């Protein structure tokens, strides 16, 4: 097991920067996710790590080994391509055996290892199938087996589930996590699907416009997004601007157009007088029972109601601003009626306002 370390990776095409000063350490044995919208540079970063693209600046380390200038064929980094890139002129067995043949293993040994790996992904029976006759999910497993069989130093997965249908994608999430963990591999998994990342990752990084926005465990990134981009990209968020009026430890009072809001989840950098942004997840907005008096109780008007079975998706209006709210086991609610709603202080996430503008301007540039 070995770590992946990126030091100041830069990449630009002409004068267009694609990656800007990426520093990142992926610990050995970790299942690490690189998450970002399309065009954010995540696949570029993966290709730099695999060696298919030269970085404009910076270094890539596998453990203590500087692989920045190493040819891709000498990096020992197993990769699963988004398209799978399974060679259509070879069978399942031949695809998987290729890497071992390159490593000049004996015939019997290749046979043994390939079958073992195919067993690992549950495809022993399909060993002699031509690639075009496999389903999407089977192809996915062959691609994984082909990368695993060479016992790579690190495993790189480029949107491996994006070509599968929704149901299969859910099954494969657990399967890939099991395989990576059992093989004890340091894995970098690139995706734009935040649900995939939240459900599978040990840790994840959010990349936008070539800059790492936030790195952390899924729960931390979801609960404590560092800026508006992350808050909006990982899950959904409602925002209200405000100013810190009082601060005590992690708690603070915020003056906002909706009135005074209380929060116990406040970014460390914020001091009284600082402009800020309060970020409220749709599921954090609770409809208050009659006579209940909780902090942050506000009167809102229900404007839209969408019934989705297990949840109700409500469109609420307060002071001309529209909010989204989710409610489990939704009762019948009347449109254009006023409701008293509350937000627990722990769920009112307060982030600095300037990072918002930075992130916002980046995402539009």
Among positions 4, 26, 60, 147, the unique one binding other proteins when judged by CB under 8 A: 147
Among positions 64, 73, 128, 310, the unique one binding other proteins when judged by CB under 8 A: 73
64 binds other proteins (CB under 8 A): no
Residue 123 or 359: which CB sits closer to other proteins? 123
Residue 152 or 216: which CB sits closer to other proteins? 152
Cα 185 to chain centroid, rounded: 19
136 binds other proteins (CB under 8 A): no
Residue 146 or 169: which CB sits closer to other proteins? 146
305 binds other proteins (CB under 8 A): no
Window of 11-19, 35-43, 50-58, 114-122 that interacts with other proteins by CB under 8 A:
50-58
Cα separation, 40 vs 27, in Å, equals 23
Among positions 13, 14, 64, 71, the unique one binding other proteins when judged by CB under 8 A: 71
For the CA atoms of 258, 226, 234, 340, the dihedral, rounded to the nearest 10 degrees, stands at -20
Q: How far is the CB of 85 from other proteins (least distance, A)?
A: 4
Distances in Å between the Cα of 1 and the Cα atoms of 190, 213, 227 are 20, 27, 33
Strand pairing partners for 78? 155
Give 152: exposed, middle or buried? Use CB within 10 Å, 0-12, 13-18, 19+.
buried
Phi, psi dihedrals of residue 139, rounded to the nearest 5°: -60, -40
Among positions 1, 87, 217, 269, the unique one binding other proteins when judged by CB under 8 A: 87
106 binds other proteins (CB under 8 A): no
Among positions 78, 235, 312, 330, the unique one binding other proteins when judged by CB under 8 A: 78
Cα separation, 182 vs 120, in Å, equals 10
Residue 49 or 254: which CB sits closer to other proteins? 49
Among positions 61, 98, 326, 339, the unique one binding other proteins when judged by CB under 8 A: 98
81 binds other proteins (CB under 8 A): yes
141 binds other proteins (CB under 8 A): no
What tokens were used for 157? 């997965």
- Of 296, 346, 292, 338, whose CA–CA distance to 316 is shortest? 338
2 binds other proteins (CB under 8 A): no
Question: Residues with Cβ < 8 Å from 202, sequence gap 6 or more?
Answer: 30, 31, 32, 217
Residue 24 or 96: which CB sits closer to other proteins? 96
52 binds other proteins (CB under 8 A): yes
Distances in Å between the Cα of 288 and the Cα atoms of 301, 333, 338 are 13, 13, 12
Residue 83 or 299: which CB sits closer to other proteins? 83
């Amino acid at each position: 097991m070995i770590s992946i370390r990126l030091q100041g990776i830069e990449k630009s095409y002409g004068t267009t920067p694609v990656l800007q000063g990426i520093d990142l350490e992926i610990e050995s044995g970790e299942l690490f996710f690189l998450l970002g919208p399309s065009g954010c540079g995540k696949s570029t970063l993966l290709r730099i790590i695999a060696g298919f693209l030269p970085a404009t600046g910076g270094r890539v380390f596998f453990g203590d080994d500087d692989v920045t200038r190493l040819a891709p064929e000498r990096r020992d980094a197993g990769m699963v391509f988004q398209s799978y890139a399974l060679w259509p002129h070879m069978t399942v067995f031949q695809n998987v055996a290729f890497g071992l043949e390159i490593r000049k293993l004996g015939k019997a040994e290749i046979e043994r290892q390939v079958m073992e790996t195919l067993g690992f992904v549950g495809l022993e029976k399909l060993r002699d199938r031509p690639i075009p006759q496999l389903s999407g999910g089977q192809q996915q497993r062959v691609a994984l087996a082909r990368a695993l069989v060479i016992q790579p130093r690190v495993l790189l997965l480029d949107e491996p589930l994006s070509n599968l249908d929704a149901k299969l994608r859910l099954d494969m999430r657990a399967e890939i996590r099991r395989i990576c963990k059992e093989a004890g591999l340091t894995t970098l998994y690139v995706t734009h699907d935040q649900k995939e990342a939240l459900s599978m990752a040990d840790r994840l990084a959010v990349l936008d416009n070539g800059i790492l926005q936030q790195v952390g465990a899924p729960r931390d990134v979801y609960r404590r997004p560092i800026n508006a981009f992350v808050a909006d990209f990982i899950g959904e968020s409602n925002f209200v601007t405000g100013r810190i009026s009082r601060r005590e430890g992690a708690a603070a009072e915020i003056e906002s157009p909706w009135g005074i809001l209380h929060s116990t989840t406040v970014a460390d950098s914020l001091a009284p007088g600082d402009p800020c942004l309060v970020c409220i997840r749709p599921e954090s907005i609770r409809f208050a029972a009659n006579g209940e008096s909780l902090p942050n109780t506000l009167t809102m008007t229900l404007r839209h109601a969408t019934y989705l079975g297990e949840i109700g998706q409500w469109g609420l209006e307060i002071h001309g601003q529209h909010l989204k709210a989710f409610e489990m086991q939704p009762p019948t609610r009347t449109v254009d009626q006023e409701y008293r709603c509350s937000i627990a202080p722990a769920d009112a996430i307060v982030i600095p306002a300037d990072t918002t503008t930075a992130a916002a301007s980046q995402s539009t540039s």
